[in-house]
Amino acid sequence: GDKAFAQFLTDEIKEEKKIQKHKSLPKVSGGWELEVHGTEAKLVRKIAGEKITVTFNINNSIPPSADDEPQEEQKPDEQEPDLTSTPNFVVEVIKDDTKQTLVFDCHYPEDEIGHEGEEESDIFTIREVSFQPTGESEWKETNYTLNTDSLDWALYDHLMDFLADRGVDNTFADELIELSTALEHQEYIKFLEDLKSFVKCQ
């Protein structure tokens, strides 16, 4: 059984490498520096008196397929639809002269449908905003967290503009999807390779 499994994995790895779009991770424009630790990625950008970091994890970032019906018409040699990774991401804005960090918890809505009648809809939304002490790794549950569900639209728009002024806008969100998808695929191939050597190990 293990031999067949290993053989299957070898073929699968070959296939995945064939469809791999990016041999190296795509860059995010706007002077962001990328750090990757396993499945977690961090983009850092410094602008006058502020440091902006965007963190995301590719685990569970691929939404479940919308159509559960088996596609009868698909010819065997047709490519499967491209999987896209749309991770939740956290934006932290740290001002040099305060001990506080403003934290935005953002995500890509499942159905990317904006408010009716809006031409320009944002591809990501802010879910929560809070202040966290700078440099603390653990978030404090006792800090007030603003949930955007019931938020005044004007305030919400200002928050979105605040992010856009710091380079976190639709273009950035698009590039983040590119980056995350490439990273997810790279990690998936690596996982298959590790699985193969694990299965072959006597």
Task: For the domain made up of 1-59+83-110+119-196, give the CATH fold.
Answer: Mitochondrial Matrix Protein; Chain A (3.10.280)
pLDDT at 75: 44
Banded pLDDT at 134 (limits 50, 70, 90): confident
Instruction: Summarize pLDDT for 39-63 with one digit per residue, the tens.
Output: 999 999 999 889 999 999 999 888 8
3-state secondary structure the chain: CHHHHHHHHHHHHHHHHHHCCCCCCCCCCCCCEEEEECCEEEEEEEECCEEEEEEEECCCCCCCCCCCCCCCCCCCCCCCCCCCCCCCEEEEEEECCCCEEEEEEEECCCCCCCCCCCCCCCCCEEEEEEEEECCCCCCCCCCCEEEHHHCCHHHHHHHHHHHHHCCCCHHHHHHHHHHHHHHHHHHHHHHHHHHHHHHHCC
Domain residue ranges of the chain, discontinuous segments joined by +: 1-59+83-110+119-196
- At residue 70, does pLDDT exceed 80? no
Give me the mean pLDDT over the 2-7 stretch: 92
- pTM of the entire predicted model: 0.84
pLDDT at 127: 95
pLDDT at 141: 75
